[in-house]
Every structure is written in structure tokens, then in C-alpha cells.
Amino acid sequence: MGIFEKMSKQGHEQLVFAYDRSTNLRTVVAIHNTTLGPALGGTRMMAYPTEDDAIDDVLRLSRGMTYKAAASGVNYGGGKAVIWGDPGHDKSEGLWRAYGQFVQALGGRFITGTDMGTYPQDFVLAAQESDYLVGLPEEYGGSGDTSILTAVGVFEGIRACLQHVYGKDSVQGRTVAVQGVGKVGARLARDLHEHGAIVYVCDVDETRVAALAEEMPVRVVSPEEIYSVPCDVFSPCSVGGVLNDRTIPLLQARIVAGSANNQLQEERHGEMLHARGILYAPDYIINAGGMIQVAEEWGGYVKEEAERQTRLIYQRLLELFALAEREGVSPNRAADLMVEHRLRTIHAIHKTMIPRA
């Protein structure tokens, strides 16, 4: 499938490439939908196997950001950027300043901050060249680390799922299998442990697991074993596409609720979970804490308000699960219908009303 065909199939507006020879910056920005406002989404840095892998990832991620923004009630569109490189070895001041110039050249059509493989200090460098960055450290006028509120939102989402399935939202005594203990997964594991949950963890980076195991009594399993752990909640907090034909039959959980983007390899895998009686918290709703934070930051940041909006994920999921039951559909399908209705409504308004000056 060619690039334009992929964009057409997923509804993208724009795909922008940039290369800087002096720093070896190789980056792609995907702008999916700007019906609600300028595209807002993080910048991910990964050593992708191929160019096609980088393109496919940024297309999937940017679409997810449109749905995340619409479901969260913020007035931003969906976008995402990827930098093709090894985050452990390829970063430099020059690379980040070149990236900042690229973002600046988009003229505010794309607003970005941290994601997997990138950190607030990276964007301190990029901010020397761009006005369209969020999630900077507080000492630089930003709102700080977005992984904190993302983890808060996932914790609240897990509580909502437990309430729906068991009639009680406490994690005390519940078993949760956390797949991936990076920025968000490690924070989530700590919160779960502090509130009395039994926590299993895995990560492809063994040093992360070892560090967490020294800090608290988590139960460490291999990345392959994590799917088969008997648990109340399976919590994907790493890469996307982990819920698929191979892994779903292995799950021994009643609930899937985690921070990873694009957890379903294909939309039909949400139906597979539903058919198995596994409650799925749509990823773009439960992991929206970081999006809510940076959306608040761009409009004038109030920390308490960002946290209040993030904790509403609990109620938002309960309402979604009730809607799905009334309509007789899976939660992921109900979420998509809700988002698509909002996008159609606002698009129609913009077509018929006089635009604001």
C-alpha cells in the first residue's frame, strides 16, 4: 500500500518529512485531523527497522491522538511525530535544535512534547528554535513530566474497570500484570503497590525491571509470560499492537487497561476481547492524562485543574461501559462512535457558521 493510500484509508490530512544532514535528523510528522483545532501530539524517538515502520507508526499514533483529544473534550486535533534514531545514542543539541526549527516551520499547525524515547530536557533544547512545544520542565515555564498525569489517569481507569466488573473499585488485593515499566508503567506499578495490589511486571529492558524490583516487591516475569499471568487486570504500558490473534487467547485477565497507544493490532481485536468476556478500556480514553495536561498548558496551565480533568477518566469510562451495554456493542466500538459523532458535529458547525476572526 502506498503512502497516499494509507493516508486516505486512515483519514489523514498531512504527512511531512524532514532531514538535516549535519545532525542526521530524520523525522516525520503526521497530522490526522484538525477539525477541533491544531494537531497536538508527542514526539517519539525509536530505532525503527525500516522507513515504512516509522511511517506506519506515526500514522497509527496520530489517528489515535485525534480520538484521544475528541474523547477528552479538548479542542485540539490529532498529530504525532517520530524521530528515526536510537534514543540512547543519537541525541545531540544539534538534532533537537534542528527538530525545533522543523516544528516551528509548521507555523503552529502541530504542537508537540515528549513521548516514548524523549524527555522534557530534550525539548528544552528544541525550545530554543520553536514556540510550539509543551511538557517542558516547570523551571522552563512548562507543566513538567506528562508521564505523571498519564499514570494517574490509568490508575483511575483501572479503578473504574474494577467497579464495573466487580462492583468495587479498590485495587487492594487485586492482581495487576504491568507490561512495560518505562516512564508511565513504573509510576503505575508504584501506585498500584502503594494501594495494596499484587503487581507482576516485565520489560524488554532488564535494567528497568531490576531497578523496580529493588525498590518494591514486584513479581518479575518474562515479556512472553506476562500474557499468561492469572490476574484481574492486564495493563499494557509499552508498545502498540500487543493485543492480537496470538496474545488474546493467552490472557487470563478479566480486564485490559493500560497506557500504551494502539494496543489493538486491528479493530477486530477489540471484538475478540469482548467475545471472551474481557473488559477493554479503550486506550485513547484511559491514557489521556498527558494529553489533558499539555492541552491545559497551551491554554494557561493550572496544575489542579489538569489533575481534576484527568481523574474524570474514572467517570468517563463508567459512562462508556454503560453506553456499550445499552447499545449492545463492545467498549472500543462505543468509544469510536462517540468520538466520530463529536467530529461530525463540529465539522458541520464549521462548514455552516461564520469563522471566528
What tens digit of pLDDT does each residue of 57-108 get?
Answer: 999 999 989 999 998 888 999 999 999 999 999 999 999 999 999 999 999 9
Catalytic machinery residues: 80
The predicted-structure confidence for 29-55, as pLDDT tens digits, reads as follows: 999 999 999 999 999 999 999 999 999
pTM: 0.84
- Tens digit of each residue's pLDDT (9 = 90 or more) over 170-212: 999 999 999 999 989 999 999 999 999 999 999 999 999 999 9
Percent of the chain at pLDDT exceeding 70? 98
CATH 3.40.50.720 corresponds to the domain 147-288+316-329: yes
Q: Is the pLDDT of residue 213 over 80?
A: yes
Cβ atoms within 10 A of the Cβ of 45, count?
25
**Cβ contact 252:229 at 8 Å:** yes
Q: Is the dihedral of CA 120, 15, 72, 258 positive or negative?
A: negative
- The domain spans of the chain are 3-65+76-142, 147-288+316-329
DSSP 31-63: EEE-SSSSEE--EEEE--SSHHHHHHHHHHHHH
Name the strand (E) or helix (H) holding 217. none
- pLDDT of res. 239: 86
pLDDT in tens, 261-313: 889 999 999 999 999 999 999 999 999 999 999 888 887 788 899 999 999 99
Q: At residue 24, does pLDDT exceed 80?
A: yes
Q: What pLDDT does 316 receive?
A: 94
Strand partners, 15: 30
A 10 A CB-CB count for 195 gives 14
91-96's contacts with Cβ under 8 Å and 24+ in sequence apart are: 91/45, 91/122, 92/23, 93/125, 94/20, 94/22, 94/23, 95/20, 95/23, 95/24, 95/25, 96/122, 96/123, 96/125, 96/126
CATH of 3-65+76-142, one of 3.40.50.300, 3.40.50.10860, 3.40.50.10470, 3.40.50.12710: 3.40.50.10860
